[in-house]
Chain A
Amino acid sequence: MGFKRTLKRDKRKFNKMLKTAVIDENPTFVTFLALCPTLGVTNNVANAIGMGISVIFVLAMSNVLVSSISRWVPDEIRIPVYITIIATLVTVLEMVMETYMPNLYTSLGIFLPLIVVNCIILGRAESFASQNKVKDSLFDGITVGIAFSLSLILLATFREILGTGGIAMLNIQIFSSENSMELFVQSTGAFLAFGILAWIISDLRMKQAKKAKKRRA
């Protein structure tokens, strides 16, 4: 029954890590990491989901690999080794995606190989995976990846609905595309939409922090 107990403990740990990653330390809206793909691929929801899944895959795999080999890697060549591992994973992902999901491959374009320099991935490898056990690193990779994907999807939903009047992937049309603000699917809208969402979220967080403070007092 030891197995069942570890499974339960793992589940609790995973949920706790997920909450931390999504709400307290959200990589997009709180620490503002990896802004390039965040703005670049969120012009529609399908792209955001594709990017999110790619990042989850690369992040989880790189965390696992880094944490399992970090014992043998001397500090001096740590960064090049991590970069090589991440680049390998990204290249593999690129080729698999080109073969099985060609449409997504073309629409993600240059942001797919640029996952290599995504600050979240190298940052997690440096700050978490190199100092933690394999299982924890896997959990960390998945939870942070999910947090990143959710932020992308939120931003993409906001932009696509305002920009085209609906979500093409789900065949939803809320209002006519003639009345939509096309600006929001273009580059200007990326900055504006992200800025507005970041403002709202930071406002909510501040209110919550104030409330928590009051409760404690």
Chain B
Amino acid sequence: MDNTTLIAFAINAFLVQNIILTQFLGLCSFFGVSNKEESALGMGLSVLFVITVSSVVTWLVYNLVLVPYDLTYLRTIVFILIVSALVQIVEMFIKKVSPILYKSLGIYLPLITTNCAVLGVALLNIDNGYDFSHMLVFSMATAFGYTFIIYIFAYIRDHLDKAQLPRALRGVPIALITAGIMSLIMTGFI
């Protein structure tokens, strides 16, 4: 694969096939956290980090352990255990190394284990049969796409909260409709 296709591939994963708006992964944290721009950025960056690390580890484990020993049917169990162990390790590591960072990211980390984006990207890497470079580009671009959209969305929601809306529409319903309009932008690329 030459570089141009890898760049196109990255843009595709970042925007066109955006993980939140077209793949419907990581929605719980998307609607749950993204009220304040700061916390959205914190969540986004933690997810970015965890997705990249866990994708690399799960890809390596899948291709170096599960495939040679014909154990691919165990992948769901193995992947979720890797992800939850990784999240724990990352949490402890950040706590030790940078208490300031831990203070801002700490509360989001335990939530990431059940964030479907992390397991979803790990599974998509395998299902789509990516090689190592594509896997790395795909997971990083996807995670950047997640952070990007969750950050923009926090900004929009901040303004929505100030708007005069019917009471029943406030909160999640208007957030869903806004997300729908955002995803309409992405369909233009297809």
Chain A interface residues toward B at CB < 8 A: 32-37, 39-40, 79-80, 83-84, 87-88, 90-91, 94-95, 110, 113-114, 116-119, 122, 186-192, 194-196, 198-199, 202-203, 206
Contacts and interface: CB of A to CB of B under 8 A. Distances in A.
A80 B114 contact: no
B119 A114 contact: yes
What DSSP secondary structure best describes chain B's contact surface? helix
Interface in B145-190: 166-169, 171-177, 179-181, 183-184, 186-187
B142 to A, nearest CB: 13
A194 B30 CA distance: 15
B73 interface: yes
Interface in B49-107: 73-77, 80-81, 84-85
Contacts of B181: 188, 192
Contact of B24 (A80, A91, A117, A187): A187
Interface stretch (B4-12, B37-45, B120-128, B129-137): B120-128
Contact of B81 (A80, A198, A199): A80
Contact of B114 (A122, A191, A202): A122
Nearest to A205: B168
Interface of B: 21-28, 30-31, 73-77, 80-81, 84-85, 113-116, 118-120, 123-124, 127, 166-169, 171-177, 179-181, 183-184, 186-187
Contacts of A186: 187
B173 A36 contact: no
Contacts of A114: 25, 116, 119-120, 123
Contacts, number: 125
Contacts of A192: 176-177, 180-181
A113 B114 contact: no
A91 B76 contact: yes
Contacts of A39: 24, 27
Contacts of B172: 32, 198
Contact of B180 (A87, A94, A119, A188): A188
B144 to A, nearest CB: 19
A117 B116 contact: yes
B74 A36 contact: no
B24 A190 contact: yes
Given A35-B31, A187-B22, A192-B177, 15 more contacts: A35-B27, A36-B28, A36-B116, A80-B81, A94-B76, A113-B76, A114-B25, A114-B123, A188-B180, A188-B181, A188-B187, A192-B180, A192-B181, A196-B173, A202-B171
Nearest to A95: B73
Contacts of A35: 24, 27-28, 30-31
Contacts of B176: 191-192, 194-195, 198
Q: Which residue of B21, B80, B85 has the most chain A CB atoms within 10 A of its CB atom? A: B80
Contacts of B84: 79-80, 83
A58 B105 CA distance: 32
Contacts of A32: 31, 172
A187 B127 CA distance: 21
B187 A119 contact: no
B173 A199 contact: yes
B57 to A, nearest CB: 17
Q: Which residue of A33, A40, A110 has the most chain B CB atoms within 10 A of its CB atom? A: A110
Contacts of A110: 120, 123-124, 127
Contacts of B81: 80, 83-84, 87
A199 B21 CA distance: 20
A94 B73 CA distance: 10
Contacts of B22: 187
